Amino acid sequence: MSQFAEQPVEPFAISLDREGLSLWPEGPVLTRRMSALEHLFADTVAWRIAVDAGDPIVYTVRSSPVPELRAELPQSVTTILPGAIAGEFYMTKGHQHQNLEGEMYLGIEGTGGLLMFNGRNVRWLDMKPDTIGYIPPGWAHRSVNTGAEPYSFLAVYPGDAGHHYEWVREHGFGSRVFRGDKAPQLLPY
């Protein structure tokens, strides 16, 4: 099949490469560096220092070629590198689905968590290999690497869910996730 398939997609098998933390056949690959996470970390001065000191990669998203179109179920593997900005763990931008649709995550490698916010309430799910995290419709979601190794998970989502990043700019995320003495610490936004 072509690398970036158009509808209709024929049935096909996708290999999950647990070593390479990727899918095969491979579709779009997205790399987000620290500079792409502007306004997201609490300590903007520490964030700027990290950007100026080499703008490190924070996470990658490797997708299969299933297109993001209505009625399809695209998949992707997100890998968040370990690290923190002034104690606040590396994380994804986080988004709400435009069409308020659900999603599921499957932990593959490392330890992390799934932070969810519906505009009023916050939920936190610990994630590790083989944990399935369910994101119900209407819950914005952000992934956080709380460990010392890369944290990687598979996402499966409706093709027309979209990524509403502006929702997060408007509503925040309810909580922030910081390094704690024993466990990750959730602090008010």
List of residues contacting ligand S6P (CB under 6 A): 61, 76, 78, 92-95, 103, 141, 143, 155, 157, 161, 163
Sign (positive or negative) of CA dihedral 16, 20, 21, 26: negative
Q: Segment 47-106, which members bind Zn ion (CB under 5 A)?
A: 103
**Residue (48 or 164) nearer to Zn ion, CB:** 164
Which does residue 110 touch among Zn ion, ligand S6P, none (CB within 5 to 8 A, set by kind)? Answer: none
Distance CA 134, CA 145 (A): 17
**Residue (38 or 180) nearer to ligand S6P, CB:** 38
Q: For tokens 């779009």, what's the residue?
A: 28
Q: How far is the CB of 145 from ligand S6P (least distance, A)?
A: 11
Give the start-end residues of each E strand in 25-101. Answer: 29-33, 57-63, 75-80, 84-85, 88-89
Which does residue 123 touch among ligand S6P, Zn ion, none (CB within 5 to 8 A, set by kind)? Answer: none
**Residue (70 or 180) nearer to ligand S6P, CB:** 70
**Residue (139 or 178) nearer to Zn ion, CB:** 139
Q: How far is the CB of 35 from ligand S6P (least distance, A)?
A: 14
**Residue (26 or 103) nearer to Zn ion, CB:** 103
Give the start-end residues of each E strand in the chain. Answer: 15-17, 22-24, 29-33, 57-63, 75-80, 84-85, 88-89, 103-109, 112-117, 122-127, 132-135, 140-145, 151-156, 175-178, 185-188
Give burial (CB, 10 Å; 0-12/13-18/19+) of 61.
middle
Q: Which residue is nearest to Zn ion (CB)?
A: 103
Which does residue 152 touch among Zn ion, ligand S6P, none (CB within 5 to 8 A, set by kind)? Answer: none
Return residues touching Zn ion (CB under 5 A).
103
